[in-house]
Amino acid sequence: MKSLAIAMAAFVVGLTLFADLGDGTAFWFVRHIPGRDHTGHFVLFGLLSFLSVSSIERREPREGRVARIRWALVLSVLVALEEGSQAFIPSRSFSLLDLSASWAGIFFGFLGSVLRVRFRSARARDPAAS
């Protein structure tokens, strides 16, 4: 899971850098997606959140919960800083809707990873479920 999280993070960073350097015409296909750019923010950051939070493993359950929450908050701050930086890049523009979609994706990705961890823990405790 950790390698998928790293690959997704690299993809998001690369996509962001590409968008910062370009004029946006490379993303022509976004016009055909319902919700357009906001859907992209939700999906990209939802996947990143799910994969990265799911890859956090700790021996103590409480320690793992704290680490997962902390990472989701760090990811939220990083996304806010990146979206805010777009106000200073000529080819980009700050969008509160994009930021909200990104945060919603992070939240639902986090929620999915928490449910995944709970499901795996319950299966590990119940040998009959295997």
pLDDT, one tens digit per residue, over 46-57 is: 999 999 998 887
Cα distance between residue 49 and residue 8, in whole Å: 10
Within 8 A by CB and 6+ apart from 109, the residues are 45, 46, 47, 48, 49, 50, 51, 53
- CB distance 93 to 86 below 8 Å: yes
Q: pTM score, two decimals?
A: 0.82
Q: What whole-number percentage of the chain has pLDDT above 90?
A: 38
